[in-house]
Amino acid sequence: MRKNKTLGEFIIENQAEFQYSSGELSKLINAIRLAAKVVNHEVNKAGLVDITGSYGDINVQGEEQQKLDVLAHEKFIQTLSNREIVCGIASEEEESFISINSLDHRHQNKYVVLIDPLDGSSNIDVNVSVGTIFSIYRRVTPIGTPVTLEDFLQPGKNQVAAGYVVYGTSTMLVYSTGHGVNGFTLNPAIGTFYLSHPNMQYSEDGNIYSVNEGNYIHFPQGVKNYIKYCQQEEGDRPYTSRYIGSLVSDFHRNMIKGGIYLYPKSSKAPNGKLRLLYECNPMAFIAEQAGGSASDGFRRILDLQPTELHQRTPFFCGSKNMVSTLEEFMHKSPI
């Protein structure tokens, strides 16, 4: 596949692959592309303009809302709302979903989008990369009726597309529509994304493990045993520990170099910290499309049936053989 193809060219060339085609995917990805460029501009100048620091508001997660969180949320909502294809949006920054009616007020739009507008935003003030994560489904309730919660509470295997933007040393848009994973790098001078990482693949094995070891004593025994396994001298172990504290960045590095990301449940976070619908499901979709896997320690993430918009799940994701080894440790010590 020719590198340096622009994202726009790529979308047009691959539009037919999107089973619900008729250009709707193009509009969706173009909306995300536009919002990503706007957010990238704001993130890159955050240190210069006093728009970082706490917004003073507290979001539904009970966390201080960084101003850029709010800005990113608003930009994605705005660009996704006026494309006549989205009937509803759920965001980490909003307690309930946002219903979007078609211009003819006949609820003709077919897709719902779930989004974490700026994941890892606590890293903004220390100039560490952050990301946007998005997940796209076709609605399941009848077209012509208002969108309902049921349209959002679909298992991750129903996703028609998912992706992330990583605002790092360079800004990249990485996404999949179910036909592999491709990465596009933004040339900020001209505001164009270019295909830089065609057909991204997780290696079956890796030697990087990513976990916040500060929580070690709170982890389930199976996770503790896996971490000790990673640290033993044998074969290509001890592995390397790399943890940025930004899911998108840790995931992206591990997909390129091989590795596993772990966010277990703990006595402090009995269901884990990460959100199933707009963090784990999209990242799991991309991982599987790239030949990796994603589990809650016992079950495939994409098979989980959601019951709440902001529900959390333990999350283990990356190189297939590393995730299955982790699962073996969890099965041996299931509590």
Total of chain residues touching ligand P6P, rule CB under 6 A:
10
DSSP lists the bridge partners of residue 86 as 111
The nearest distance, CB 210 to ligand P6P, in angstroms, is 8
Contact (Cβ atoms closer than 8 angstroms) between residue 91 and residue 73: yes
DSSP 8-state code for residue 276: I
The nearest distance, CB 283 to ligand P6P, in angstroms, is 10
Nearer to ligand P6P, 235 or 270 (CB): 270
Q: Is 253 in the site for ligand P6P (CB under 6 A)?
A: no
Three-point CA angle 174, 126, 93, nearest 5°: 60
Structure tokens at 193: 């994304």
The nearest distance, CB 17 to ligand P6P, in angstroms, is 30
DSSP lists the bridge partners of residue 210 as 261
Q: Is 254 in the site for ligand P6P (CB under 6 A)?
A: no
Q: Is 247 in the site for ligand P6P (CB under 6 A)?
A: yes
Torsion angle of C-alpha atoms 31, 37, 38, 39, degrees rounded to 10: 100
Question: Interface with ligand P6P by CB under 6 A: which range of 19-27, 42-50, 79-87, 119-127?
Answer: 119-127
Nearer to ligand P6P, 81 or 212 (CB): 212
The nearest distance, CB 120 to ligand P6P, in angstroms, is 4
Site for ligand P6P in 156-175 (CB under 6 A): none
Nearer to ligand P6P, 88 or 120 (CB): 120
The nearest distance, CB 302 to ligand P6P, in angstroms, is 19
Site for ligand P6P in 122-151 (CB under 6 A): 122
DSSP of 178-211: SS--EEEEEETTTTEEEEEE-S----S--SEEE-
Question: Interface with ligand P6P by CB under 6 A: which range of 50-58, 67-75, 115-123, 317-325?
Answer: 115-123
Q: Is 314 in the site for ligand P6P (CB under 6 A)?
A: no
Structure tokens at 187: 């040339």
Map residue 22 onto helix, strand or coil. coil
DSSP lists the bridge partners of residue 168 as none
Query: Binding string, 206-225, against ligand P6P, x = CB under 6 A?
Result: ------x-------------
Contact (Cβ atoms closer than 8 angstroms) between residue 120 and residue 144: no
Query: Binding string, 71-110, against ligand P6P, x = CB under 6 A?
Result: ----------------------------------------
Residues 222, 329: Cα–Cα separation, whole Å: 5
Contact (Cβ atoms closer than 8 angstroms) between residue 219 and residue 266: yes
Question: Interface with ligand P6P by CB under 6 A: which range of 117-125, 147-155, 170-178, 321-329?
Answer: 117-125
Map residue 137 onto helix, strand or coil. strand
- Give all strands (DSSP E) within 101-146, no chain letters: 111-119, 130-138
- Give all strands (DSSP E) within 1-129, no chain letters: 54-58, 64-66, 86-91, 98-99, 111-119
Q: Is 245 in the site for ligand P6P (CB under 6 A)?
A: yes
Binding ligand P6P (rule: CB under 6 A), the pick from 24, 93, 119, 288 is 119
Q: Is 273 in the site for ligand P6P (CB under 6 A)?
A: yes
The residues near 253 (Cβ < 8 Å, ≥ 6 apart) are 208, 242, 244, 259
The nearest distance, CB 196 to ligand P6P, in angstroms, is 23
**64-66 vs 54-58, strand pairing mode:** antiparallel
Question: Interface with ligand P6P by CB under 6 A: which range of 22-30, 46-54, 243-251, 290-298?
Answer: 243-251
Q: Is 246 in the site for ligand P6P (CB under 6 A)?
A: yes
Please give the residue ranges that form the binding site for ligand P6P (CB under 6 A): 119-120, 122, 212, 245-247, 250, 273-274
